[in-house]
Amino acid sequence: MRAAELLYVHGGLLLLLVSSILHVIATAAQVGTWSACTLEAASDGFPSPSAQCASAIVPLCAGGICIDPDGQTITLFLKRILATSSIPTNRTPARNVWVVPDRG
């Protein structure tokens, strides 16, 4: 059984829709090479967990949200912290977390 069918069988029609939209965006993204960086944007002298940073080129309009006949793209800055093996066994870890802060 395919993943899409499995989601529908379990009543996850909304999840299927969200999954499809995220798939379109994810497959359209051209993610650069991940490299080591600090968790904070600026060093304050305190120890910081390590993170990985990259940039991704994504379409300005994707998934039918808007129409862009010119096919414009934007560059997103990405930062991730890799999971460790110390995840509690009673919880399922998140596979993807996207945080886009509003810097006004």
Map out the domains of the chain as residue ranges: 30-80
Whether the per-residue pLDDT at 6 is higher than 80: the answer is no
Work out the average pLDDT over 63-91: 76
CA nearest to 79, candidates 23, 37, 46? 37
Sequence length of the chain is: 104
Q: Taking all residues of the chain, what is their mean pLDDT, rounded to a whole number?
A: 65
Which residue is listed with tokens 């944007």? 41
Q: Pick the most confident of 25-39, 51-65, 76-90.
A: 51-65
Residue 95 to residue 81: CA distance in whole angstroms: 11
Whether the per-residue pLDDT at 35 is higher than 80: the answer is yes
Which residue is listed with tokens 């560059």? 75
